[in-house]
Structure 1
Amino acid sequence: MIEEEVIRVAARGDGVTADGRHVPLAAPGDRVAADGTIAPGPHHQNPPCRHFPQCGGCQLQHLDDASWSGFIVERIRAALGQHGLETEIRTPLLSAPRTRRRATLHAERRGRQVHLGFTEQGSHRLIDLDECHVLDPRLFALLAPLRGLLATVAPVSRRINVQLALTDQGPDVLIDGIEAEGLAAAEALTAFSQRHGLARLAMDEGLGPTTRWEPDPVTITQGGVPVPFPHGSFLQATPEGEAALVAAVREIAGGAAAIADLFAGLGTFAFAFAGSKVYAGEAARDPVLSLKAAAARAGRQIFADHRDLFRRPLTTKELNNFQAMVIDPPRAGAKEQSAEIAASIVPRVAFVSCNPSTFARDAEILCKGGYRLDWIQPVGQFRWSTHVELAAQFTRQG
């Protein structure tokens, strides 16, 4: 029987042979028979979770760390190649299992039971989690009691979203899609929050989150500064991943007297430069207000600006006031802002991205404008996922 060797992993997680055959759940070095039977190779590991591969939380549990790192590097290299770019790609920094500190789960009632978990790959079908090898144990420990709470207050039939995050004060829970009115529901929410040591419990009944429990103001510490944490705000997936990105950004922009931090969020990077003046631009109102308040209390030289950088990017003239800048756009990238940067004279740019494709597009704009792409530091925050993050250094030439 003729066998083919899997030589790489495609963007969605399938193994690919030399002749282009896609093989689900195959790792580099596996051998695949004509009937699809897989003979595991040296990089194929037994998936640790019983829910794999049905659960959409993971796509790559069958890969060891070496092949997962290779997958991340090849994703970035392929995206760059589509735009005629190449550079040094450093060894990916991978977060360990069970370190994810934020997640959005889904819940629905099935008879008397409530199922809670991630959705199935490529489907809306819900996987009721009995175990999870990516969530921080403090978050996973809430799943069973949350099922009991939702069985009490959830409607008969409706998909509910449950956002979980670990804050300085403990777990933050936001339940989206139910109404919990009346004395009995209020008492149940309070008792649940006390029993399980929640930092905050909030409900969103369609008009925005309403806090139902918060004994102390909830914060996330950024650069040694506690920052108020608005409901559902963006938070880097793991502490290790955040530290890796911050270290890369400091390597690029550290020491500059004036730094621009674009798409600043809660100030993950803005608070990393204690001795610099920092402009922090962010379109979301609540995070930028939190950043501003925290900076004022800490005496940091941070100017927080509520600004939509898609509709109103910083102009080249404005950018020329800075010695370095950090940009961390969402998955859509920052095409308009990149064009302004490309025309500027900012010496160093730290570009953080969660999408290699849009990053490569924006990197081409910068390089055509006179920047050099020096290196890329990949970061694997989403354990066993096809999601790729990176930080890159650009320097102005000439």
Structure 2
Amino acid sequence: MSALQTIVRLAARGDGITADGRYVMGAAVGDQIRFDGEQATILPGPNHVVPVCRHVPECGGCQLQHVTDADYAAFVIDRLARVLGPLMPEDVAPVALSPPRSRRRASLRAVRRGGKLLLGFNSEGSHRIIDLQQCEVLRPKLFALIGPLRALLHKAVAEGQGAGITLTDSEAGVDVLLANVRAERLDEIERLTDFAAAHDLARLSVEGPDGVQTLVEARLPCLTMGGVRVGLPPAPFLQPTEEGEAALVAAVAEAVGGAGQVADLFCGLGTFALPLSRRARVQALDAAGPAIAALAAAARLGGRPLAAVHRDLFRRPLTPAELAPFDALVFDPPRAGAEAQSRALAQSSVPVVVAVSCNPSTFGRDARILAEGGYRLDRLWPVAQFRWSSHVEVVARFSRQGHSSP
């Protein structure tokens, strides 16, 4: 019989790692592992808990539902420390962890095979759909639509055909966008409009080759950001939980401090720009036209000192000369990070740069670029709003050498 080995840490994707570097899916730090060839038997340790969802480990959304909250928080910090290396600051805020059943937006897939409609998330590492019967991360209001949507799409989707479903729980009600679902014939349109009425949807839209068509808008989906109500375009990018957004906004506000002129790059709908505009003049830039239009309209109605600018910052990053007027800058790029913009920032004189990231790897790259340009990473605020996943978010404050942090 082989000797027991102990899990000493968690890998970036959530697998447990033994001291000799062997990976074990579903293992927590402190678990004992008995190997029989490639087969691993887990003897649970003090950090191992029983997953609450029946779809673990097949569903790819919750790789870490088997670890305690304390161990999960330790995983988040370790993930950042390994990426940053010597740049890791001593000043790290406690991890902000979103509660179960708090996810207010979700993208799901559906496919009809063998006369059955499967609807859910992809399984871990594959395109196979897990037909959701339980979900401990979605808001109950969104999960309650899974069964009715399954019945709707069973009639609307042909055998072998797939469809996409984007759900957003807004302050005005649920917004649904269906992709690859026909809405041309009268019976197809009536089936969808009847569904929207029966479930009191705020809006229902379909996306096809010609773009997005809204079939029903009983109420404009909206969210309040920084005290200003923002109308949402279909399938908007939002922070996935209200609690996570609040943690990120609070961290950004603290990092920016009393800056009077602030730039918000990759601003989206104004998650940070609108709260910051309460006490600063803000220039907000993004390549997403519908989001910029919604932000501009909201800022006008709210009377905020905010200029919303449509600009592709990957192709045309702000130059050091354009950055010169700002006292602080916030950037929240997609998972690819903001390498070109970071290089321009590294040559700029902006006193405080606040990076918001959803990808530790590209965040680490951009952080090194800023550090090489003379910035000091002096504080981190880790956020885990994709609860039980290996997805890590962070707010980081970089200060120009010689500038005192707020």
TM-score of Structure 1 vs Structure 2, range by shorter chain? over 0.9
Give the match's secondary structure for 1:166: strand
Partner of 2:141: 138
| Structure 2 residue 302 is matched with structure 1 residue 298 | yes
Residues 248-272 of structure 1: per-residue CA shift (max 9 Å, x gap) = 0000113211100000000000001
Q: How far off its partner does 1:132 sit? A: 0.4
The aligned counterpart of 2:35 is 34
Task: Identify the residue that residue 21 of structure 1 maps to in structure 2.
Answer: 22
Matches within 5 A, 1:334-349: 334-349=338-353
Task: Read off the aligned partner of 1:20 and give its amino acid letter.
Answer: G
Deviations 1:241-292 (A, max 9, x none): 0000000000011321110000000000000121211000101111001111
Q: 1:323-359 CA deviation, whole Å, 9 max, x = no partner?
A: 1111101111111111111111211111100111111
Would you say the 8 A contact 1:59–1:386 is kept in 2? yes
Q: Which residue of 1 aligns with 2:332?
A: 328
Does the 8 Å CA contact 2:201/2:218 hold for their aligned counterparts? no
C-alpha contact 2:273 2:284 (8 A) present in aligned 1:
yes
* Distance (Å, rounded) in 2 between the aligned partners of 1:290 and 1:390: 26
Q: Which one of the candidate residues 200, 214, 217 is aligned to 1:197?
A: 200
TM-score, with length taken from structure 2:
0.95
1:159 offset after TM fit, Å?
1.3
1:298 is aligned with what amino acid? Answer: G
1:106 maps onto 2:101 in alignment: no
Q: Structure 1: which amino acid aligns with 2:60?
A: G
Equivalent residue, structure 2, for 1:8: 9
* SS of alignment partner, residue 151 of structure 1: helix
Match of 2:120 in 1: 117
Aligned length: 396
How far apart are 1:188 and its partner, in Å? 1.7
Which of 177, 181, 184 aligns to 1:174? It is 177
Alignment correspondent of 2:88: 86
Match status 1:212 vs 2:215:
yes
Alignment of 1:356 onto 2:360 = yes
Residues 1:50 and 2:54 aligned together = yes
Whether the 8 Å CA contact 1:155–1:178 is kept in 2: the answer is no
What's 1:186 paired with? Answer: 189
SS of the residue 1:34 aligns to: strand
How far apart are the structure 2 equivalents of 1:360 and 1:153? 45
Runs ≥4 residues deviating over 4 A: none
Deviations 1:146-200 (A, max 9, x none): 0111122222321111011111211111000121222222222122111111111
Distance 2:258 2:300 in 1: 22
Aligned with 1:313 (options 297, 317, 320): 317
Matched position secondary structure for 1:202: strand
Conserved in 1, the CA contact under 8 Å of 2:261 and 2:328? yes
C-alpha separation in 2, matches of 1:270 and 1:368: 28
Q: Which amino acid aligns with 1:167?
A: S
Q: CA RMSD in A?
A: 1.1
Distance in 2 between the 1:218 and 1:267 partners?
Answer: 15
Displacement, 1:221? 1.6
* Distance in structure 2 (CA, Å) of the matches to 1:384 and 1:25: 12
Instruction: Give the partner amino acid of 1:301.
Output: P
Structure 2: gaps spanning 5 or more residues: none
Structure 1 residue 227 displacement after superposition: 1.0
Unaligned runs of 5+ in 1: none
Q: Secondary structure in 2 aligned to 1:338?
A: helix
| Alpha-carbon distance in 2 for matches of 1:130, 1:99 | 17
Q: Which amino acid aligns with 1:41?
A: G
Q: Decide which of 283, 293, 300 is 1:279's aligned counterpart.
A: 283
Q: CA deviation at 1:115?
A: 1.2
Q: TM-score by structure 1 length?
A: 0.97
Q: Partner residue of 1:264?
A: 267
- Distance between the aligned counterparts of 2:340 and 2:155, measured in 1? 49
What residue identity is the alignment partner of 1:27?
Answer: A
* Other structure's SS at 1:357 match: helix
Q: Is the 8 A contact 2:384 2:393 kept in 1?
A: yes
Amino acid at match of 1:6: I
Amino acid at match of 2:238: L
**Maintained 8 Å contact 1:261/1:326:** yes
**AA paired with 2:30?**
G
1:288 and 1:37 mapped to 2: Cα distance? 52
Shift of 1:27: 0.1
For the Cα contact (< 8 Å) 1:260–1:324, is it kept in 2?
yes
